[in-house]
Chains A and B, each alone.
Chain A
């Protein structure tokens, strides 16, 4: 399993360099910088990559996960098994917890509780058989297992099959898609993709940057090669560009028991591990490392700037007074940059004020359209017949609209962040120039890099879902798209009426009942969209405010750091001016040595992400 761990060493190297940077910041008494590095460290050490395993039921999703991990965690059964999303993450000792929703009669505002679950009783919580209709009210089950595959922070999410009788499953899965780092779409080799499967894949592709198709049970179906070909044809025809992997969980399990390398190769799990390790974890990790490197670079550059101006003053006393003058200007500018009247502050506040109203308006008009579409759909059919299809359709539409709304917010917030960052760079650059640092743009790199991470990921619709993922993962994932409740559409009443009445009377009764059912159904979906508008609207407003606060804090901290760096440099330069020639001569080599040390550290940081250096030069 060596290929799986490929990403981890890069993070380890970054962490150790980060620790040196942190101790350097401590040594130079820059507590503000070392605090920032501590935050960076937390992100570097413990990243989580969610991979959703989805597909119609009975395609072998749970078996696939068991075969990947090498032991039986997810219950497998010939009948429908998984009923509750199960998240598997790495842990030193096997453990499990369940998130349980509050009962219906709980007071408003009750929150879900987390319960410890004995590891061998996981099946009691997640299976349809042991927990029919989810009577235990379980939202999700978290299972920690010791597995080298999961160690780099991979979280596999086993989902209930889509398309089963419990139609809400599909809505929940679609709602969770944008939050996932990757999606594995599982379908067995018994038949080519069906229309619903391909529709689902298209939705998934537009909501998640990484989608991989997995064809299972190739040990059992003789014509699996033909099915794989057909599926690839369908994908190409639908313009869905995703890798297709074919494998056999049964052979893999057998190879694990017998350590038979040939069987393992035939099982096709090697390429899947490769895909997860390199494509998913590897790429995400290099992004995490790059961001951390940019942060470190900024810290190192600021440290260097303090000594750089001191060295200039020491080396050339005649220029010293001019230098002090420059630094005074820089300090002044730095002070202005951190005030609320700074240009970036004004842009930030105005931009987000507009965004708040736009997001709200967008959501409202979207849900209004949805209500209208739903009414039209109900007017064209008898809810008693169409409800089974209508319900998931509505959930799916709602999910699409909500995600589109979030995407719009994300894009706009990204634009504002870019504009703010630009203004900040212009103003910040002036300070940096005064500071006489070798490469002023590096100072601001970190700010750009962190805005980058949010903007750069993926493509198309999924642009910049990372903030969404980190801040709303909890709210959206498996929670937000609740069910419509309290609707009892009783078709068979008509049957009894047919026995009692006859002919025309029956038909009139039937029409009246139909109108009533339609009214009932419309009421139900209105209640649902209202509730959705309320929940999502609040979440969206909170989100906008949170992004605004995050950006403000981020830039304010940078401004404070810059100010601190300039005052520090000013102070050192002034000290240098005031000292006599002899002390200066003694101090100069020390400063040179410090600078050399910091430059060495800087080179190490750059080795983590060479592209930062090329951009800087």
Chain B
């Protein structure tokens, strides 16, 4: 049996055709780039208000200290981090050709030398860095929104939510927030205000960052953060804007994934000192660095620890070592990363973005094509437009996305919350594996899955045909039947 053309295939074909239609026009190159983009890693932008911990989280995700982090605002230019063959930094000015710029790397973060180019004239920086973490995802660090320097804020806004005619260069966004502010909501809304797929919560994940600070460093801070994240997750306003809310302690994640042996030794020294001696140091950051103590660490060593782990990180690490939960530096690193919420975030990234990457990338490409066709009607563009509409309307993936979106916005009438939850799960809101979608045990056999799918199809069919079902519920049921049928084919 010939393979069904996938959505990505269709989109690739469509783009190839449009490149020939638009050959010799300025849009030709743009469409060419869009087509090439389909084969590149998914682009995930890390966005959020100023000092939300964007660069710290980026470093944690890469597993290396790359982006500079600092107490003041420091990321002022949109910076791309992508996998490459060599280490190099390209500067893309707003006007003119991109060129390579030198950089140095001391004490972790890379320091890029713009060679006197004014920051305002730089469109973006591209850091090529050979790294396995960047192979599947290109990460984009953005300047903070609501930054005091209006220019910086504007640069981030322009990148993430370009005007009506442009298309955001990112396929998906990780939105970092410390607490949910009105401006956060406004920003997320703007990011979703696009035509083809309309407001889709599928391409955004909210991250409750700096989660360790929520309890001002108490050891149960992460539990508090999870509780708050759960509340936000169920807030109607948030639901229609992003898939989920994940708490992450960025600093802990970054330092955990880059823990050094010497740091473990220093932490071990604190953990094995008399408890009240250590507690005296933990009272405040000033005391931790300056107070005279019998613990055999110099003031500078202590300052370094504080810098890397924060007071919460040091307290947590000391507690873990003292309780005997960890005995080696790699165990501590794992435990810190686990507790930071980074593992959970990576899982969500994997299940939500990575497994949907084709849909997300297709979506970005179609958005771009739609803008071109609308704004630059040339001979053959009409045909492209109807083709575009066919692909957009015909792709079951988009139907799923739309339904998921409608469910989350709470506009599907006649569906009870429990049923709504089941529908969302079936559409892959919690992960795309068949067992997750069907709510089965992960170890279920293909036979079990087949039975469950057939049951589900029967159930949705009855729901669709039931004269008491609302029209929206019946439509939703039909989408779900097709989803189940598709899965059934994959299982066979």
Report if A234 contacts B (CB, 8 A).
Answer: yes
Rounded to whole angstroms, the CA-CA distance of A356 and B205 in the bound complex is: 56
| Also in contact, A220 and B411, with CB within 8 A (given A78-B228, A79-B224, A392-B182) | no
| Also in contact, A165 and B182, with CB within 8 A (given A198-B148, A219-B283) | yes
Rounded to whole angstroms, the CA-CA distance of A226 and B198 in the bound complex is: 43
Most A C-beta atoms less than 10 A away, residue of B181, B214, B216, B235 = B216
Contact check, B147 vs A195: say whether CB atoms are below 8 A apart: yes
Q: Is the interface of B mostly helix, strand, loop or mixed?
A: helix
CB-CB under 8 A from B185, the residues of chain A are 165, 388
Report if A269 contacts B (CB, 8 A).
Answer: no
Contact check, B285 vs A219: say whether CB atoms are below 8 A apart: yes
| Also in contact, A78 and B285, with CB within 8 A (given A222-B311, A496-B472, A499-B406) | no
The digit string for B278-309, where 1 denotes a CB below 8 A from any CB of A, is: 00000111111100000000000001001100
Name which of B113-121, B186-194, B252-260, B483-491 contacts chain A.
B186-194
Rounded to whole angstroms, the CA-CA distance of A190 and B51 in the bound complex is: 8
| Also in contact, A251 and B72, with CB within 8 A (given A195-B153, A492-B409, A492-B411) | no
Rounded to whole angstroms, the CA-CA distance of A177 and B384 in the bound complex is: 59
The digit string for A196-236, where 1 denotes a CB below 8 A from any CB of B, is: 10100000000000000000011111111011001000100
Contact check, B148 vs A234: say whether CB atoms are below 8 A apart: yes
Range class of the A interface residue count: 35 or more
Contact check, B237 vs A495: say whether CB atoms are below 8 A apart: no
Contact check, B411 vs A163: say whether CB atoms are below 8 A apart: no
Contact check, B224 vs A194: say whether CB atoms are below 8 A apart: no
Contact check, B73 vs A220: say whether CB atoms are below 8 A apart: no
CB-CB under 8 A from A251, the residues of chain B are 283-284
Contact check, B472 vs A224: say whether CB atoms are below 8 A apart: no
Contact check, B182 vs A164: say whether CB atoms are below 8 A apart: yes
Q: Which of A486-501 contact B (CB under 8 A)?
A: 490-496, 498-499
CB-CB under 8 A from B51, the residues of chain A are 190-192
CB-CB under 8 A from A219, the residues of chain B are 283-286
CB-CB under 8 A from B406, the residues of chain A are 492, 495-496, 499
Report if A346 contacts B (CB, 8 A).
Answer: no
Report if B234 contacts A (CB, 8 A).
Answer: no
Q: How far is the CB of A413 from chain B (nearest CB, A)?
A: 38
Q: How far is the CB of B233 from chain A (nearest CB, A)?
A: 13
Report if B88 contacts A (CB, 8 A).
Answer: no
Report if B362 contacts A (CB, 8 A).
Answer: no
Q: How far is the CB of B224 from chain A (nearest CB, A)?
A: 4
The digit string for B394-433, where 1 denotes a CB below 8 A from any CB of A, is: 0000000011011001110000000000000000000000
Q: How far is the CB of B197 from chain A (nearest CB, A)?
A: 9
Rounded to whole angstroms, the CA-CA distance of A488 and B7 in the bound complex is: 38
Contact check, B182 vs A248: say whether CB atoms are below 8 A apart: no
Q: Give the residue name and chain of the A residue nearest to B189 (CB).
A: A385
CB-CB under 8 A from A496, the residues of chain B are 406, 411, 472
Contact check, B286 vs A266: say whether CB atoms are below 8 A apart: yes
| Also in contact, A57 and B411, with CB within 8 A (given A165-B237, A219-B284, A222-B306) | no
Contact check, A498 vs B198: say whether CB atoms are below 8 A apart: yes
Contact check, A389 vs B198: say whether CB atoms are below 8 A apart: no
Q: How far is the CB of B369 from chain A (nearest CB, A)?
A: 15
Contact check, A224 vs B409: say whether CB atoms are below 8 A apart: no
Contact check, B148 vs A195: say whether CB atoms are below 8 A apart: yes
Report if A503 contacts B (CB, 8 A).
Answer: yes
Report if A263 contacts B (CB, 8 A).
Answer: yes
Q: Give the residue name and chain of the A residue nearest to B179 (CB).
A: A58
Q: Give the residue name and chain of the B residue nearest to A386 (CB).
A: B186
The digit string for B466-480, where 1 denotes a CB below 8 A from any CB of A, is: 000000100100000
Rounded to whole angstroms, the CA-CA distance of A146 and B302 in the bound complex is: 42
Contact check, B228 vs A79: say whether CB atoms are below 8 A apart: yes
CB-CB under 8 A from B214, the residues of chain A are 58, 78
Contact check, A388 vs B49: say whether CB atoms are below 8 A apart: no
Contact check, A164 vs B283: say whether CB atoms are below 8 A apart: no
CB-CB under 8 A from B221, the residues of chain A are 78
Report if A250 contacts B (CB, 8 A).
Answer: yes
Contact check, B183 vs A163: say whether CB atoms are below 8 A apart: yes
Q: How far is the CB of A581 from chain B (nearest CB, A)?
A: 85
CB-CB under 8 A from B146, the residues of chain A are 194-196
Report if A167 contacts B (CB, 8 A).
Answer: yes
| Also in contact, A222 and B285, with CB within 8 A (given A196-B146, A495-B406, A499-B406) | yes
Q: How far is the CB of A371 from chain B (nearest CB, A)?
A: 23
Contact check, B182 vs A78: say whether CB atoms are below 8 A apart: no
Q: How far is the CB of B94 from chain A (nearest CB, A)?
A: 24
Contact check, B50 vs A191: say whether CB atoms are below 8 A apart: yes
Rounded to whole angstroms, the CA-CA distance of A57 and B148 in the bound complex is: 18
CB-CB under 8 A from A78, the residues of chain B are 214-215, 221, 224-225, 227-228
| Also in contact, A495 and B475, with CB within 8 A (given A222-B307, A226-B72) | no
Pick the contact of B393 from A57, A80, A502 — CB < 8 Å?
A502
Q: Give the residue name and chain of the B residue nearest to A249 (CB).
A: B216
Q: Give the residue name and chain of the B residue nearest to A170 (CB).
A: B182
Report if A426 contacts B (CB, 8 A).
Answer: no
Pick the contact of A79 from B216, B231, B307, B472 — CB < 8 Å?
B231
Q: Give the residue name and chain of the B residue nearest to A221 (CB).
A: B285
Report if B38 contacts A (CB, 8 A).
Answer: no
Contact check, A226 vs B49: say whether CB atoms are below 8 A apart: no
Report if B240 contacts A (CB, 8 A).
Answer: yes
Report if B199 contacts A (CB, 8 A).
Answer: yes
Report if A193 contacts B (CB, 8 A).
Answer: yes
Contact check, B148 vs A194: say whether CB atoms are below 8 A apart: yes
Contact check, B150 vs A195: say whether CB atoms are below 8 A apart: yes
Q: Which of A284-315 contact B (CB under 8 A)?
A: none
Q: Give the residue name and chain of the A residue nearest to B479 (CB).
A: A499
Contact check, B409 vs A495: say whether CB atoms are below 8 A apart: yes
Contact check, B72 vs A254: say whether CB atoms are below 8 A apart: no
Report if B130 contacts A (CB, 8 A).
Answer: no
Contact check, B198 vs A163: say whether CB atoms are below 8 A apart: no
Contact check, A222 vs B475: say whether CB atoms are below 8 A apart: no
Rounded to whole angstroms, the CA-CA distance of A495 and B200 in the bound complex is: 10
CB-CB under 8 A from B228, the residues of chain A are 78-79
Contact check, B217 vs A220: say whether CB atoms are below 8 A apart: yes
Q: How far is the CB of B415 from chain A (nearest CB, A)?
A: 13
Q: How far is the CB of A340 from chain B (nearest CB, A)?
A: 56
Rounded to whole angstroms, the CA-CA distance of A78 and B224 in the bound complex is: 7
| Also in contact, A493 and B411, with CB within 8 A (given A266-B286, A385-B189) | yes
Report if A568 contacts B (CB, 8 A).
Answer: no
CB-CB under 8 A from A230, the residues of chain B are 71-72
Pick the contact of A248 from B178, B181, B183, B284 — CB < 8 Å?
B284
The digit string for B42-72, where 1 denotes a CB below 8 A from any CB of A, is: 0000000111000000000000000000011
Q: Which of B371-406 contact A (CB under 8 A)?
A: 389, 393, 402-403, 405-406
CB-CB under 8 A from B402, the residues of chain A are 495, 498-499
Report if A442 contacts B (CB, 8 A).
Answer: no
Q: Which of B210-260 contact A (CB under 8 A)?
A: 210, 213-217, 221, 224-225, 227-228, 231, 235, 237, 240
Report if A56 contacts B (CB, 8 A).
Answer: yes
| Also in contact, A492 and B216, with CB within 8 A (given A191-B51, A220-B285, A498-B198) | no
CB-CB under 8 A from B180, the residues of chain A are 164-165
Contact check, B182 vs A163: say whether CB atoms are below 8 A apart: yes
Contact check, A389 vs B182: say whether CB atoms are below 8 A apart: yes
Contact check, A193 vs B148: say whether CB atoms are below 8 A apart: yes
Listed by A's residue number, 13 A-B pairs whose Cβ atoms lie within 8 Å are A164-B182, A165-B237, A194-B147, A220-B213, A220-B311, A222-B285, A230-B72, A389-B183, A491-B199, A491-B409, A493-B411, A495-B405, A498-B198
Chain B residues in the interface with A (C-beta under 8 A): 49-51, 71-73, 146-148, 150, 153, 178-183, 185-186, 189-190, 193, 198-199, 210, 213-217, 221, 224-225, 227-228, 231, 235, 237, 240, 283-289, 303, 306-307, 310-311, 389, 393, 402-403, 405-406, 409-411, 472, 475
- Known: A218-B286, A227-B71, A502-B393; 13 extra A-B contacts, CB below 8 A, are A56-B181, A78-B225, A165-B235, A220-B216, A223-B71, A230-B72, A388-B186, A388-B189, A389-B183, A492-B411, A495-B405, A498-B198, A499-B475
Which 5 pairs, one residue from A and one from B, show the smallest C-beta to C-beta distance?
A: A219-B284, A223-B71, A191-B51, A492-B409, A78-B224
